[in-house]
Chains A and B, each alone.
Chain A
Amino acid sequence: MSNSQSPDSSVPVKQKKKRNKTLHSSGLPIPIPMSTLLHSYTPPSVSLRLRPRRSRYLRPLRFQFGRMGNSMVRAQAATEVTEAATSEGLKKGIAEFYDESSGVWESVWGDHMHHGFYEPDTAASLSDHRPAQIRMIEEALSFAGVSDDPMKKPKTIVDVGCGIGGSSRYLAKKYGAQCRGITLSPIQAQRAQELAAAEGLADKVSFQVADALQQPFPDGEFDLVWSMESGEHMPDKMKFVSELARVAAPGATIIIVTWCHRDLSPSEDSLKPDEIALLNKICDAYYLPAWCSASDYVNIAKSLSLENIKTADWSDNVAPFWPAVIRSAFTWQGFTSLLRSGWKTIRGALVMPLMIEGYKKNLIKFAVITCTKPN
């Protein structure tokens, strides 16, 4: 599968309904060439179709705690086969996406591949973002009640979906702890290791290529189990959280910060069709298997007998992030890096306005979910 595809003038280009060429619905000004790209470009072939779109939301990611119709359960059984057949494809897609795009991200944004945490309704300037990304880590730790006390602070940490190791290095430094990071991307693992060595942390952090759904660690290994914006990639949320719980030591804290869709109301069986359509477009570009809600995570944690389960909606605190990422893509450095990177990265960039749309519609939520492993 090739990583980069360029527009071929002999391939008919789908003309989508033209909206305002110079102003995207998100309100951001877009240079005309890019807007044309957004509205009328279709790649010659889709590089990775993960599964038939219809089936994605037939699979219920709400779990049977209380009300759920029999029809949902039947639909789930029908789509199990499709999912199993493409989980390898998903992992490969994720690995390739990050192999290709991590360098671009790092050159523009640095070593934290997650949202910044901002005061609501503030405009953020370029220099605000790195501190905001640090603040995101600190807010998550604070929300979970992780102690700084030398006797109680975590000594061993696992960073699940570690990217190029930003969180791992930060947490290892903060607590003087040993940190193990896992990622599907060999290039990320390598880069994470290089950065650790450069910061003198090679004896504190190490990185492995591994699957979050099959963590290569024995039970009960870690005092702090950390998943910062990796939950979106997990095709099986139950397995994902089960593994987090398995590798957590008795009394350990588990912290999940992730994109979710809004909670469904009691009268709803699923998201509305236009909501599903929007999420599908985002899923394809970012190699996300399917979305669930923060309530789903809470229910899973309860089913695993995890304790002190807490969740919060931080959507208002991350609102400045995507506009900032889009602006950075239009800087000279951002744009040229994108062009050099490859089709997967470019497609990811093109889909960014959809993230803003999703947040504005209160469809996409940025959630923190924390809990502890029983003693």
Chain B
Amino acid sequence: MRLLTHNMLSCNIKGVTNGFPLKLEADKWVTKEVDLNADFLRGIFPKIEWSALLAAARVLGFAELPEQADASMLSSDDFLRRFHHALLELHVEEGALVCPETGRKFPINKGIPNMLLHEDEV
């Protein structure tokens, strides 16, 4: 699971009002190189919840993202490289996504999150 995906997932347990962002727990993660596409990064930036990306990247030991980010930074190659790395090159293979409100854990196995709810959570 890349952090771009993490940035789009939320907890949908019945009654939960604040299911985003899910807290990331990572037992195993890898780096997979991907070609940098500046246009893509500039296009996706407005849709990214920056604080969620920041926190998740830190869990994976990547602390090189700025605390805050705005669109003007997208003209910097250095910023693009760090953004690209965090968003697309870090893959969580095993771990869990934790609902911020209920603490419920959604497992990540072989890179795939399982977001199925139990009967009583629906």
A contact residues vs B (CB 8 Å cutoff): 87-88, 91, 155-156, 178, 180, 182, 184, 186, 189-190, 193, 202-203, 206-211, 213-218, 221
Contacts and interface: CB of A to CB of B under 8 A. Distances in A.
Given A216-B10, A218-B8, A218-B10, A193 B112 contact: yes
Given A155-B43, A203-B34, A209 B8 contact: no
A88 B116 CA distance: 11
A211 B44 contact: no
B28 to A, nearest CB: 16
A320 B37 CA distance: 43
Contacts of B110: 190, 193
A203 B88 contact: yes
A354 B2 CA distance: 43
B15 to A, nearest CB: 12
A180 B113 CA distance: 12
A252 to B, nearest CB: 13
Nearest to A182: B115
A193 B4 contact: no
Contacts of B10: 216-218
11 contacts: A88-B119, A178-B4, A203-B2, A208-B115, A209-B112, A209-B114, A210-B114, A214-B122, A216-B11, A216-B12, A216-B106
A186 B115 CA distance: 11
Interface residues of B, number: 29
Nearest to B121: A214
Contacts of B19: 218
Contacts of A182: 115
B19 to A, nearest CB: 8
Contact of A193 (B20, B34, B111): B111
A259 B16 CA distance: 34
A285 to B, nearest CB: 23
A180 B10 CA distance: 13
B92 to A, nearest CB: 11
